[in-house]
Amino acid sequence: METKIYEPTSENIKKIAELIKNDELVAFPTETVYGLGANALSTKAVEKIFEVKNRPADNPLIVHVCSPLQIMRVAMEFPEKARLLADHFMPGPLTIVLEKKPILSDLVTGGLNTVGVRMPDHPVALEFINACNLPVCAPSANLSTRPSPTIARHVFDDMNGRIPAILDGGQCDFGIESTIVDVTGKVPVVLRKGAISIEELRAVVGEVKEATGEIHAPGNRYKHYAPKAEVLLSAYYDEMHVSICEKYDELVAACKKPVILCLNYRAEMYGDREIMEVGKDYAEYAHNLFAFLRYADERGYDTVIAEGVKNEGIGESLINRLIKSSGGQVI
Ligand code: TXA
Ligand code: MG
């Protein structure tokens, strides 16, 4: 199958929406990362997502809508806290988990009786979903275990020959996935940290719990966001550059080819060691992380040493992604 990349003209969007109606898969941009879309109401189409991505069947898919009203097509009820969150963060990088309607197959929800829904804050995504006139389920458009794609070329690298079309919407704003909040209980529970921080959620709905133990997004169980290179995460502390340099030198002595991911203003602490500057602050670090992990592979580095960050604000979500990418290897 030939995979074509399309400019997001209205004509192309209409054409590509027809593919969705015909049970094909289409990658499209959102403000977080690129999604791999399918008709959420078609078993045949949803099966293709799992096949193409190599995704475990018990990992549910987020259903994307183009208006809060559409949520009622797939969810049984819309409790007060969900409404509050929707009023504030939709469209936006928030997924809310609600009790599902029977119209959705177990395939979409991984056998759960809930569904995650989200309305992306991206003009191309909204126009595309609107043209489909269907709920569109979409995981991130990477192969399972790989870093999520934040530009169309990343999608092409993973999906070439597997899907017919990619809508090119340029670079994603956030570069990190949506925050997932379960609102089926009395107190909202964050199942996956993401582009919206817990503090921002609390400012809107008051008490918000963090998932503990077994209660998590099912996807949290699996290996994730991993480039080919090995990723080592540094613990965060003032002098972390010292141990990062030691590790780097040790690797070079062992004939490895490491690179350090660091904030721009810290670059000079690493002397003439190979570095990649990920941005001026945590938001930019989060925005660029997945792209740099892929870039490190392209440039032939075999080890990425990533600077740690403070566990606050967007730093919390960033740590989550860094720990996953590194498979928990902390130095
Ligand atoms: O920003 C995003 O959320 C992106 C864009 C494309 O919208 N999507 C995304 O999808 O990150 P994916 O499939 O890569 O991650 C979805 C996560 C998985 O960890 C899955 O287990 C969880 O959402 N999830 C989906 N439905 C759920 C549900 N009903 N209950 C709990 N977790 C759910
Ligand atoms: Mg994903």
Average pLDDT over every residue of 182-202: 96
Say what the pLDDT of residue 221 is. Answer: 78
DSSP summary character for residue 269? G
Asked if residue 258 lies in contact with residue 221, where contact means CB atoms within 8 angstroms, the answer is: no
Structure confidence at residue 212 as a pLDDT band (50, 70, 90): confident
**Percent of the chain predicted with pLDDT > 90:** 95
Q: Residue 52 pLDDT > 90, yes or no?
A: yes
- The kind and range of the H/E element at 24 are none
Instruction: Tell which one of 33, 62, 214 to mutate to probe ligand 1, the residue whose CB is within 8 A of the most ligand atoms.
Output: 62
Helices (H), the chain: 10-21, 43-53, 71-74, 80-89, 106-109, 123-132, 152-159, 198-205, 240-253, 282-298, 314-325
User: Is the bond into 135 cis (omega within 30 degrees of 0)?
Assistant: no
Looking at the predicted structure, is the pLDDT value of residue 217 above 70? yes
**What separation in Å is there between the alpha carbon of 182 and the centre of ligand 1?**
12
Single pTM value for the model: 0.96
b (16+ CB within 10 A) / e for 14-53: eebbebbeeebbbbbbbbbbbbbbbbbbbeebbebbbebb
Q: How large a percentage of the chain has pLDDT more than 70?
A: 99
Cβ atoms of 278 and 289 within 8 Å: the answer is yes
**What pLDDT sits at residue 272?**
97
Nearest CA, atom 7, ligand 1 = 35
At 220 the pLDDT is: 81
- pLDDT band of residue 318 (cuts 50, 70, 90) is very high
Tell me, in angstroms, the distance from the centre of ligand 1 to residue 220's CA: 9
Given pLDDT bands bounded at 50, 70 and 90, which one contains residue 218? confident
Mean pLDDT taken over the chain: 96
The CA 142 to ligand 2 mean position distance, Å, reads 7
Strand order in the sheet with 230-233: 230-233, 303-306, 258-262, 275-277
The confidence score (pLDDT) of residue 323 equals 94
Is residue 128 very low, low, confident or very high in pLDDT (cuts 50, 70, 90)? very high
Sequence-separated (6 or more) residues with CB below 8 Å from residue 317 = 176, 179, 193, 194, 195, 197, 286
8 A C-beta contact, residue 54 and residue 143: yes
- Tell me what the mean pLDDT of segment 172-198 comes to: 96
Give the mean pLDDT of 264-289: 97
CA 148–ligand 2 middle distance (angstroms) = 6
What amino acid occupies position 329?
Q
Q: Poorest-confidence range of 130-134, 209-213, 216-220, 234-238?
A: 216-220
Residue 215 has pLDDT above 70, yes or no: no
Confidence of residue 214 (pLDDT cuts 50, 70, 90): low
Residues with CB under 5 A from ligand 2 (ion): 140
